[in-house]
Every structure is written in C-alpha cells, then in structure tokens.
Chain A
Amino acid sequence: MLNEITFYLTAIWTLVFAIAAMSLRQMVHCALSAAAAFAGLALIYLELNAPFVGFAQLLVYVGAIAILIVFAVLLTRGDEVGPNRSQASPSWLAGLAVALLVLGAIALPILSSPSLQKVAPPVATAPVKRIGEELMTRYVLPLETVGVLLTAAMIGAVVIALREESEKPAGQGTSLLSFNGGRTQRPATPETAAHPETEEAVTLP
C-alpha cells in the first residue's frame, strides 16, 4: 500500500512537471520544471531498487544537463523578446494529435497484454560492487567506447560553440561572467591627441 502511494505520488510529480516543462511559456520555467521531472524519475529509480542509477540520474540530469539547458536559454535570450510571439509552432494542433496517437499506440498494447500485469519478484538489487565489476569485465569495451564518445562530444561541443575570431574582435567581448566588460583603451597620449587630423591630412591627395 505504502509502495503504491509513493509510486503514485512520484509518478504524478514527474508527469506534472514533464507537462509543465513542455507547456510553460517562460523558457527558464520550462528548464526548471524539466529538472524537477528528472529528479522525480530519479526517485522512481530508487523505488525500483536501482539507487546507483537514481543517483547517476540526479547527478547527470539535474546537476549537469539542467544547468546546461539553463545556460543555453540565457545565452539565446534575444530570441524570445516581444510579448506577442507565440511559443507554439503553427501546426501545433496536428502535432498534439500525433502525440496522442503515439500515446494510444504505446499504451493500448501495454494495457491489453496480460503478461505485463505482474508483480515484482521479491529481491532484485544492483549493488555498486557488482556494477563496478561488470563495467570492468563484461562491459569494458562499451565503457571505453563511452569514454571516447564523451571526450569527442566535449571537444565537439567546445569547437562548435567556440566564438570565431572574425565574429567579434578579441578583448571586446563582454561575457555574462565578466561584469566589468571590455576594458577601455588607454587615453591618447598628448602627442597624438594634439593633432588628431594631421595624419589624415597627409594621406589625402
């Protein structure tokens, strides 16, 4: 009974925030709701006796991906100004219909199949030690591959998001982090300041 109540609570939490993440107007709210939904999923993993996965989910999704999304939202803020711009795409009704169709297509077989209405076997745990051993023996190649993939993704992300030199001259850029911004240039020295137009005059025919 207790288990069922916790399941329904977490499931409703997750679903509500997932819907909020997809439907709120303000993008920052969407991102934060998504983080809450991810955290709810982590709780569901805990209920399913997979604490390691739950913590990993929390660490990666809430600690990293949500933050990334928030940063991306702030870095692309210029796009959403203007009160009357609609957030939904023009044919959103069709999209919603397809989404409902997909839900039906998945949920129908689940609900109609009797073999899925089963109760959990009493004990199934994923101890950290076992996971570590499996990662180092049976899954060592996938692990290495994931390492390479993450490195490649990191380098790729840096290269893609790198500001090209020609876009903005170096030193002039004001990032969100450095509040004092680009430093002003030194004041003109008396010699050059005294006759600012002489040089121009010489070059003119």
Chain B
Amino acid sequence: MQTFGQQLINGLSLGSIYALLALGYTMVYGIIKLINFAHGDIYMLGAFWGYYVINQLHFNFIWAMLSAIVFCAILGVIIEYFAYRPLRHSPRITALITAIGVSFLLENGMTYLFTANTRSFPQVIKTVTYHLGGLRISNIQLLILGTACLLMLLLELIIKRTKMGRAMRAVSVDPEAAQLVGINLNHTISFTFALGSAMAGAAGVLIGLYYNSIDPLMGMTPGIKAFVAAVIGGIGSVPGASVGGFLIGLLETGVQAIGLSAYKDAVVYFVLIVILLVLPAGIFGKKTKEKV
C-alpha cells in the first residue's frame, strides 16, 4: 500500500511534467492546427537560459524562471514570425516539416554552440524531502505539481475570461470569420505562441532544477510524449492536455512498477491507439461530423 502510494506520487510528479509541456502543444495546435515540433526544443532553451542566468548572472530561482518565461515567449514569437507565418496558407504538412526543421536547427545549433555534453543544473533551491507516513515527496516535486496546476488554471482563465482569449477561441474555430469581426489574426497567433512558449520556458527551468541535468537533445523525447499526452486529452483542450499528461505519467510509472520497464513506451503508444479508436478526438476533444 505504501509502495502504491509512493508510485502514485511518482506518477503524478512525472505526469505534471508532461502536462506542463502538453499545455503549450495543445494551445498552438488548437489555434493554427500545427504540430509545433519545436516546442520541446523551446523547453530545452528555457532550461539553458535558466542555467546561464543562474550561473553567470547569479539570478535567484524566481527571477531565473520569470526571465526564462519572457525569453521563451519572445523566442516563440520570433520563430512563428519567421518560420510559420509565411506558411499560413500553405498545406499543413509543409508547416509541419518547417517545424521539424526549426527543431533540428535549435537542437543542432545548441549542440554547436554549447557542445552536446550533459550539464548539471545549478541547485538554487535545496531539495527537501518530506516524509508523510512513509511516503516521500520533495519540495521540488510539489513545486512542479503546483506550477502545472496553477498554469493550467491561468490558461483556462485567459482563454475563457479575457478579450484575447475570446479572440483565440474565435480564431481556432474560423480564422476568416474572426478577421471579419475585427480580430487581428497575426496578433492573436503571436500571442498564442508567446503563451505556449512561455509555458515551455517555465517547464525548462523547473525540470532542469528537478532532474539537475540538461543537454541540447533533452526536448526530443519529452516533446513527443507531451504531444501524445495532448492528443490523448483531446488536442486543443487545456484540461485535456493536463489529464493526458497525468495519464501518461501514471501509466509509465505503473508499467515500470510491475516490472515491464522495457515496454513502458510501447504500452503508452498502445493505450494512445486504443483511446483514439474509442474516442477519435481524444478524451476532451470535440467530435466533428462532416455535414453531407
């Protein structure tokens, strides 16, 4: 029972990481239907930014995180402006390939500039492990879990309650019609990228701190997993991304707990396929039926 409780904590803490990343995926996809392959790499850049400002400029944790959020938001807007905006009216598969190109560029550019070596992230917050009836949970795990939930609520609020959020929803349903009612398409999409990338930046610093290990390819695997999480949850849906993230986290933990660690990813993909077959648009996705 105690082991089960501990595994639940492990799963939730892993899931909160996927959820953090999946939120950014889901937002960008929701609005321009682009699988932003470079999202995982923006997360990597956030981690590296944190690494440098803490080591070189001696920022504290809060400032490092805030500055990483701003840095990644700007980066997201720049990438959107140069790489995706020219392709807005092109086939979606073209934009996908461009996103893959951006991802390659960020990974290899960072490898070129900073070498491929793994670096240890400066431990600006000392890890404290709390013992709760035989269960262990660290302050950083709680921090990540808290941040993931907080950001999810914040996003939900922005999307549901603000003017920009309304514009985002409008664009995601019908960009042309949104323009007709006076919504600035470019601003809205830039804002979405800024928001999504900011979340990746926050995730980068948090996860860098948690695992204490960063490298230029760190965004690849979590990026794909987070995308799977977003799809399971119903891509485009904020609560869906979180649920998907936690689901994958718990699933991976469960599979490893019963000793099938070699098949952990296979099980995740299998569950993904099964969920899509039952719910073709994910758990929270809206089913769209073509009108005849």
Partners in one complex: no
Residues of B at under 8 Å CB distance from A? none
Residues of A at under 8 Å CB distance from B? none
